[in-house]
Amino acid sequence: MRPSQYRYMLWQLIAACDSGKYDTLSLDEVQQHADAGTIASFMVEKFGQDCDFSLIEPSDWLAISETWSSIANAVEPSRKFGVEKRGVCLLMAYVLESLQMLDLESSNRQSF
């Protein structure tokens, strides 16, 4: 997945967070879907018309699911990201972590 797609997703999630409509989305719900690999269908269903994820292809969703599942299994949101209350903020943290992982991969490839 390209960094621009992650940034676009982040803008969509920022708008969703700002709307207040998703304040009740829990960390547990997001973590369960991330861990189960169902985050793509969950996000499309949960955010519906409020978020435009049309730039993200099915193969991108697969990559997101795999990456976020590994993050959900390895990271405590409050300790790693400072996120304790809102699931939409955890999704934004996953996007930022994914961008950092891409940056690290890119810099590792360039150093060879």
| pTM value surpassing 0.95 | no
Per-residue pLDDT reduced to its tens digit, 7-42: 999 999 999 999 999 999 999 999 999 999 999 999
Q: Is residue 112 part of a domain?
A: no
Q: In this prediction, what percent of the chain has a pLDDT beyond 70? A: 98
Take residue 12 and report the two structure tokens written for it: 């969509």
Q: Is residue 49 part of a domain?
A: yes
Closest CA to 80 of 13, 70, 9: 70
Q: Which residue has the tokens 């999630």?
A: 13
Task: Please give the residue range of the domain that contains residue 20.
Answer: 3-107
Q: In this prediction, what percent of the chain has a pLDDT beyond 90? A: 86
Give the DSSP H/E element, type plus range, for residue 68. helix 58-74
The number of folded domains in the chain is: 1
* CATH for 92: 1.20.120.600
